[in-house]
Amino acid sequence: MEGVQSYVTFRSLGGSPVSYAQVAVEIARWPLDGILGSLGALSLAAVQAGQEFSNPRLQGHYLNLAIVDDFPTPLPGAGTMYAPGRVPFTGGRHILVHEHNVAWLAHAALLGASEESTTPDLTYEIQRRVCRLLLLTNDLFTEAHTPPVPSRLSERREFVMDWLRHAQ
């Protein structure tokens, strides 16, 4: 897709390096049902959009949410990147939500998120934080070790099923 270089990451937007331990501690602060509910809503939107979901226009909403969140620190220049109702200004990198980071975050939430509290509604705050966690998760994948995004639905399903089997 023209104009799209690769997954957008926290560091590529000017953020400082964040470790897996920092992400795990943050995940533990949030209710499991809130994280999984937000990821479920993202997954439903992806399935409904099909191949078009990787289009920056559709990813822009989620990327805007990730940009305005403040964990672990606000992004430098977030105000100049944020574009309400439009694709954010991120230097050509617009793909935030993809199978790899959704599967990884769901797995990490199952292992570490709080099961003691429940979320009656998927609030803006939870959605924003989940999008920021997806952005941070992209930093945990190195481009050299991240396989290409599967293009067919059967390949995507196979990837997710393999990931879930390894977690068991």
Domain that holds residue 131: 11-167
Is 145 inside a domain boundary?
yes
Considering the domain boundaries, does residue 3 fall inside one? no
**In this structure, is residue 5 part of a structural domain?**
no
Give the pLDDT confidence of 31-43 residue by residue, as tens digits: 999 999 999 999 9
- The percent of residues above 90 in pLDDT, for the chain, comes to 52
Residue 50 belongs to some domain of the structure: yes
Residue 16 belongs to a domain: yes
- Does 109 reside within a domain? yes
State how many domains the chain has: 1
Q: Which is nearest to 55 in space by CA: 2, 116, 111, 125?
A: 2
Cβ-contact 59, 94 below 8 angstroms: yes
Report if residue 26 sits inside a domain. yes
Say if 1 falls within a structural domain. no
Read off the pLDDT of residues 5-63 as tens digits, 9 standing for 90 and up.
Answer: 468 999 999 999 998 899 999 999 999 999 999 999 999 999 999 888 888 888 999 99
The Cα–Cα gap between 79 and 76 comes to 8
Q: Which two tokens stand for residue 56?
A: 């920056």
Q: Work out the burial of residue 45: count CB atoms within 10 Å of its CB; fewer than 13 is exposed, 13-18 middle, 19 or more buried.
A: middle
